[in-house]
Amino acid sequence: MRAHEAGALHGDIGSRGPAWLRPPVDVNALVPQLWPRNVTRDGDGVLAVAGLGVRDVAAEFGTPVYVLDEDDLRSRCRDFRTGFDGVDVYYAGKAFLCRAVVRMISEEGLHLDVCTGGELATALSAGMPPERIGFHGNNKSVAELTRALDAGVGRIILDSFDEIDRLTALARERGVRPRVMIRVTVGVEAHTHEFIATAHEDQKFGFSLAGGAAAEAAFRVLDEGVLELRGLHSHIGSQIFDASGFEVSARRVLGLQAQIRDARGVELPELDLGGGFGIAYTTQDDPATPQDLAKRLRRIVESECAAERLAVPHLSIEPGRAIVGPAVFTLYEVGTVKDVDGIRTYVSVDGGMSDNIRTALYDASYSATLASRASTAEPMLARVVGKHCESGDIVVKDEFLPADVQPGDLVAVPGTGAYCRSMASNYNHVPRPPVVAVRGGQARLIVRRETEDDLLALDVG
């Protein structure tokens, strides 16, 4: 169910919650797949990350605060690198980007996908080697393309005929031959456990395969000979658990690869399968490991290439959420607890839709735990809501928290590394929270908290 602009999400009202949500045997227990790998409860029952208690984090940095388990993030980079051995792994910076994270993923040997001038500037200012940057976007400006060429980015993913013309003109002017890929819209839409294969795609990204635009784009680039066409690119969705969407998309995109070979005698050397690999937000989700994903994707590509009598191209992927999502939790302080008779208990925290828009925007599900102490109280079905003037300002729709949760308690919401800080807003003039990286018991501020002065500095009227 989507949020209604006039009100709250109305599904599953009552004390039972959704069918999949079970009252926990131990309300203090942490479900391992939901939490960063170095999160535990310490001897006093306080949530701790890499040995540092969240009360200390809150005392030093305030709340709300995004807490990044740096070793968790690094280990997920390594899991993708080793699982996808021989495949270039582009971290999708749209999930969350700051200079410290650029350095982490670069040190772990990943490439980086950016999709605006701002993301490109962040990557370059953190020292990301430009040849390991891929530049996406359906409406890159001339200024952005110029910057990308001047920086020498490794590849530009073409998204429209206008862009082909723009980039061709810029490359001619400069006497350079940038490497490009063509983003193909393959008519597959995959979200969570379902995918839909359609003949055509009604969306703003890429060149339609079914309509013939993708083939025409490839022919135009090859025939003009100004840009170096490295391969085709397809990204089919987000939070995907079912590999069959990739199977249909690989079959379709490799069909185009064969068509290009037959028409122009060229076998493109690279293929990008995009990102979208799912993570666990609640106990409903059971994501595959990068090793398993790699095995399945490789098998799919090899068999489709064999069917088309194509050499297997050099592969790349673009995971964002699966790398940074599980490495972060948001720490909030409870301000009010309101029992709305017979319906549910609303636990209001000091952030909300300005630091996590995904619940309101996508009807996303999250989990939460009482973080500042252990409790002996019974589990109580709660809704964690924010402080914004919007009844759809919900952080966690349904979760069992201890019945004695009270103002001053800290609540932690896991799985908030992706598309939370990067989509954060200043709604209601709320300054955006900081990001703190914790490693070896030490906390390090990597994005500072916005201040009211920051907000007022923009208001020049």
Ligand X SMILES: Cc1ncc(COP(=O)(O)O)c(C=O)c1O
Interface residues with ligand X (CB under 6 A)? 92, 94-95, 113, 136, 235, 238, 274-277, 318-322, 418
CA pair distance 355, 447, nearest whole angstrom: 14
Residue closer to ligand X by CB (options 155, 387) is: 155
Q: Which of 78, 157, 147, 152 is nearest to 119 (CA)?
A: 147
CB of 152 to ligand X, least distance (A): 21
Annotation says 420 is catalytic:
no
Q: Give 95 or 145: the residue with its C-beta nearer to ligand X.
A: 95
Of 113 and 399, nearer to ligand X (C-beta) is 113
Q: How near is the Cβ of 245 to ligand X at its closest, in Å?
A: 13
User: What DSSP designation does 277 have?
Assistant: B
Contact 440, 383 (CB under 8 A): no
Token representation of residue 272: 């990008």
Give me the catalytic one of 115, 305, 389, 420.
389
CA distances from 35 to 47, 320, 374, 417, 420 (A): 11, 17, 17, 11, 16
Minimum gap (Å) between residue 214 Cβ and ligand X: 15
Residue 131 is classified by DSSP as G
User: Minimum distance from CB of 238 to ligand X (Å)?
Assistant: 4
Peptide bond into 32 cis (omega under 30): no
Distances (CA, A) of 242 to 87, 200, 201, 246, 320: 20, 21, 20, 8, 17
Angle in degrees, 0-180, between the axes of helices 142-151 and 117-125, rounded to the nearest 10: 20
Of 105, 35, 38, 109, nearest to 71 (Cα)? Answer: 38
How near is the Cβ of 316 to ligand X at its closest, in Å?
Answer: 10
Q: Evaluate whether 416 touches 366 at the Cβ level (below 8 Å).
A: yes
Q: Please, which residue, 240 or 381, has the CB nearer to ligand X?
A: 240
- The per-type count for the chain, helices as H runs and strands as E runs, is 12, 24
Phi, psi (degrees; rounded to nearest 5) at 4: -90, 140
Query: How many C-beta atoms surround the C-beta of residue 204 within 10 A?
Result: 10
Which residues carry out catalysis?
Answer: 389
